[in-house]
Amino acid sequence: MTADHVTATPKALRRADLARATGCNLETIRYYEGAGVLPPPARTAAGHRSYGTADVQRLRFILRARELGFTLEDIRGLQGLGDGALHSCTEVKSKAEAHLAEVRAKIADLTRIEVVLAETSAKCSGGDLPDCAVLQSLGHQYAG
């Protein structure tokens, strides 16, 4: 451990405090640290984890990005803007537009599935199995 990782600030938070501040559970914080999207916390002289305001902001960013469906790899890329890896907002916009295209494709797929299920369910009488429209639409064949 390097000396720059040993800090104690007046606003230092423990992991439980970070969890409360962000509405995130402890295991998720550990997971994000292990996945590398949340950096390892600073440590006090006694070796206790110490989170600060930047950690709260970063975790909130991660949680919001996950709510919007970004993968951890996407989040790493988006964080690169603040970390100097990305060179322009254009790169972030490109990533966001690519994700938007994926979301729209999923919505289109789900809409098609909804239509087929609604039509098939409407045809199903709810009677005996050999006449089940839902199972027939799935290609299920009955041996009589």
60 in the same domain as 104: no
Domain count of the chain? 2
The answer to whether position 79 is within a domain reads: no
Residues 6 or more apart from 112 whose CB is under 8 A from it?
A: none
62 in the same domain as 29: yes
Domain end: 27, 42, 69, which one? 69
* pLDDT string in tens for the chain (144-residue length): 444 444 444 478 999 999 999 999 999 999 999 999 999 998 888 888 999 999 999 999 999 999 999 999 989 888 876 666 556 778 888 888 999 999 999 999 999 999 988 988 888 777 766 677 777 777 765 554
Residue 5: its pLDDT value, please? 42
CATH of the domain at 14: 1.10.1660.10
- Four-CA torsion 70, 74, 77, 82, nearest 10 degrees: 10
Domain extent, residue 102, equals: 88-144
95 in the same domain as 63: no
